[in-house]
Amino acid sequence: MMNSSISILLIVYALFLVAMLSSYFYFIFFQKEKHKRDRELGERGESFMVNRTTREWWLWITAPLEEFFIRKKISPNMISLYGLIFAFGSCMAYGFGLFVLGGWCVLLGGTMDIFDGRVARRTGQVSATGDFWDANLDRMGEALMYLGLLNYYANQLFFYVVFVAFFSAMMISYSKARAGQLGLKMTVGVMQRAERIVWIGVPSAISPLFASLANYWLPISKTWLASVGIAVVALLGMYTYYERYSFIHKHLEKK
């Protein structure tokens, strides 16, 4: 009976993911040209790890939620707090091995991080204190996510891969803050915050389903795909930190 219930849940979840994927292709073929290209995404530049089309699609599919926040006059600071709550949810979910829930908490928390700034700009509530609040909650949220992952992998060698991913994330953020103090605009690196969210959140959200399908041919754990995503974040995160360190170091040498 339990196996039957799990199979039904997997089928329902698979259909949901197929619907999401279908909406992505619908956006590309029927809505992309009609959809007003987001100016903010253009200013951030392209990323081959999370391309602009994917970002535009996510803004398109979550637009009703953004409009809801504006219509209900929910403050940007409160939206930032929602992001931290989702991050705490990811911490708890990962700690208990609930990777689907953890992955979606990461993605929804990242979405809140998009919306707080967008709502602030659209409603004229941009402020230095708001930016400072948001930056602090972002760091707290990412630390909570990694805490959950570190707890789950505590007795495995992969613990050290997660730690490297966490370390690189902290150093990437620090290098950006340091560059800002030096008056430099830091856009260097392939594994920035948005990429980390996607490469940890998406593989986590689909990892158990992927394992269920793959087990027909090759036995793998339910967290295998999530582990691949984390490993990519760790590897490219360290490379991004190296790029940023080199960028700042060269600037300082010129002085």
Q: Which of 12-21, 94-103, 183-192 has the lowest mean pLDDT?
A: 183-192
* 213 vs 231 pLDDT, higher one: 231
Rounded to whole angstroms, the Cα distance separating 94 from 238 reads 23
Rounded to whole angstroms, the Cα distance separating 133 from 80 reads 8
Residues 6+ apart with CB under 8 A from 116: 76, 77, 79, 80, 83, 130, 134
Percent of the chain with pLDDT over 70: 91
Q: Would you state the pLDDT for residue 44?
A: 56
Rounded to whole angstroms, the Cα distance separating 222 from 229 reads 13
pLDDT in tens, 124-171: 999 999 999 999 999 999 999 999 999 999 999 999 999 999 999 999
Report residue 228's pLDDT band, with 50, 70 and 90 as the boundaries. Answer: very high
What's the average model confidence in pLDDT over 182-208?
Answer: 91
Rounded to whole angstroms, the Cα distance separating 172 from 31 reads 35
Structural contact between residues 84 and 145, judged by C-beta atoms closer than 8 angstroms:
no
**According to CATH, what is the number of the domain 35-254?**
1.20.120.1760
Q: What is the mean pLDDT of the chain?
A: 90
Structural contact between residues 166 and 150, judged by C-beta atoms closer than 8 angstroms:
yes
Q: Would you state the pLDDT for residue 21?
A: 94
Is pTM beyond 0.75? Reply is yes
pLDDT in tens, 34-58: 666 566 665 555 566 788 889 889 9
Report residue 32's pLDDT band, with 50, 70 and 90 as the boundaries. Answer: confident
Q: Would you state the pLDDT for residue 204?
A: 97
What's the average model confidence in pLDDT over 19-39?
Answer: 81
What's the average model confidence in pLDDT over 76-84?
Answer: 97
pLDDT in tens, 85-138: 999 999 999 999 999 999 999 999 999 999 999 999 999 999 999 999 999 999
Q: Would you state the pLDDT for residue 2?
A: 45
Strands (E), the chain: none
Q: Would you state the pLDDT for residue 211?
A: 92
DSSP code at position 1: -
Domain ranges of the chain: 35-254
Rounded to whole angstroms, the Cα distance separating 32 from 47 reads 18
Does residue 213 register a pLDDT over 90?
Answer: no
Rounded to whole angstroms, the Cα distance separating 16 from 147 reads 29
Structural contact between residues 131 and 80, judged by C-beta atoms closer than 8 angstroms:
no
Q: Would you state the pLDDT for residue 37?
A: 59
* Cα distances (angstroms) measured from residue 96 to each of 53, 151, 152, 188, 194: 34, 9, 7, 35, 25
* 1 vs 89 pLDDT, higher one: 89
What's the average model confidence in pLDDT over 235-250?
Answer: 94
Q: Would you state the pLDDT for residue 1?
A: 42
